[in-house]
Amino acid sequence: MKEQLLKIQEQAAIEIGSVSSPEDLENFRIQYLGKKGHVTSALKRLGELSAEERPAIGQLANSVKAEISTMLEQARERLKSGAVKKECLDVTLQGREPARGHLHPVEIVNREICDIFVKMGYRIVQGPEVELDYYNFEALNIPQDHPARDMQDTFYISDNVVLRTQTSSMQIRVMEKQKPPVSIIAPGKVYRSDSDVSHTPMFHQVEGLLVDKDVTFSDLKGTLTSFIHQMFGSSTAVRFRPSFFPFTEPSAEVDIQCVICRGKGCRTCGNSGWIEILGSGMVDPAVYGFVDYDPEVYSGFAFGMGIERVAMLKYGIDDIQLFFRNDMRFLRQFY
Which CA distances in Å does 160 have to 49, 77, 155, 289? 99, 63, 11, 21
pLDDT band at 78 (very low <50, low <70, confident <90, very high): confident
pLDDT band at 84 (very low <50, low <70, confident <90, very high): very low
Mean pLDDT on 138-151: 79
Q: Is the pLDDT of residue 272 over 50?
A: yes
Task: Tell which wins on pLDDT, 255 or 153.
Answer: 255
List, for residues 26-69, the tens digit of each pLDDT value.
Answer: 888 888 888 778 777 777 777 777 777 778 877 877 888 888 88
Return the pLDDT at 195: 64
List, for residues 299-324, the tens digit of each pLDDT value.
Answer: 999 999 999 989 988 988 878 888 98
- Burial of 243 (C-beta count, 10 Å sphere; 0-12/13-18/19+): middle
Distance CA(228)–CA(231), nearest Å, equals 5
Distance CA(30)–CA(14), nearest Å, equals 16
Task: Tell which wins on pLDDT, 6 or 190.
Answer: 190
Candidate from 71-80, 120-129, 171-180, 248-257 with smallest mean pLDDT: 71-80
Distance CA(96)–CA(217), nearest Å, equals 56
Q: Is the pLDDT of residue 23 over 70?
A: yes
Spatial contact of 222 and 228, defined as CB atoms under 8 Å apart:
no
Share of the chain above pLDDT 70, in %: 94
Which CA distances in Å does 20 have to 10, 17, 23, 61, 159? 19, 8, 8, 27, 69
Mean pLDDT on 144-159: 77
Return the pLDDT at 85: 52
Distance CA(16)–CA(11), nearest Å, equals 9
Share of the chain above pLDDT 90, in %: 47
Task: Tell which wins on pLDDT, 46 or 11.
Answer: 11
Distance CA(216)–CA(299), nearest Å, equals 7
